[in-house]
Structure 1
Amino acid sequence: MTDLTRLPGDGLFVGRARISEASHPLVVTVRAGEVIDITSSAAPTVRDLCELKDPAAYVRSARAKAIGTLEDIAANSFESQRDAKKPILLSPVDLQAVKASGVTFVVSLLERVIEEQARGSAEKADAIRADIAG
């Protein structure tokens, strides 16, 4: 196991991943070294998951499907080593506005939206940025 995949045993982790078979990012968690898809109609995004009455209980009990090992998916998430046919990890932030010291990072939020719309295509992302810039 690499340093990238060492997680505390008592932690509850939520993130997002992209797999080639899905048209949208998946909401995922980690169980016993496996990345598990917990996307559902109740929690189609991490934002929706965070809005649930008890997000931790949902993550612990969600019916799920393994999409690969954390080690393999983390290794494939580096752009320089990426195989587009294999799962990759994404930022866990999807539709949330991120704040620090009372400042909303609108640029960061826009980049997340661009990432979602471009679906991994650098050319499409550049076109979306140009369209936003007007």
Structure 2
Amino acid sequence: MNALKKKTLALILASVLALGGSAWAFNLGDLIGVVGGGFVVSAIAGPINDFINTITLNRGAKVEGHTKVVPIVSIGSGTHIGAAQVAGPRGDAINGTKAVAQIEATFQNRLRVKILVPIDSENPIQRFRRVQGVGVSAIIDLRL
């Protein structure tokens, strides 16, 4: 990664962390062109995960298991299109979750359905398996 990309990422992360108390939304698609979706998600995963856990704790909806933030990947193209917090029991299930696959479908030509599946690979084009016992607890949208 060249120096310009590193500086850009550092500036974005500093802004996100400095304004962490505010409700910000980012469009991850815009950011992918700058530094790559998977790298961005891994760079902000810890602070975003802590932020979500604090909000749910304060609202009386604390997760009893373990949580982490992973990229959302499109099944059709394998591109990173966002991020999600997943929750599940401590141990192999949550540790083995590498991404959330998004599958889009239309029901009876009237309803658009987005199916979110925790998976064990960041590249669903090569192969993936559903991680049993893990669910999606939050969706993170990034918009510049």
TM-score by length of 2: 0.29
* Structure 1 or 2: more strand by fraction: 2
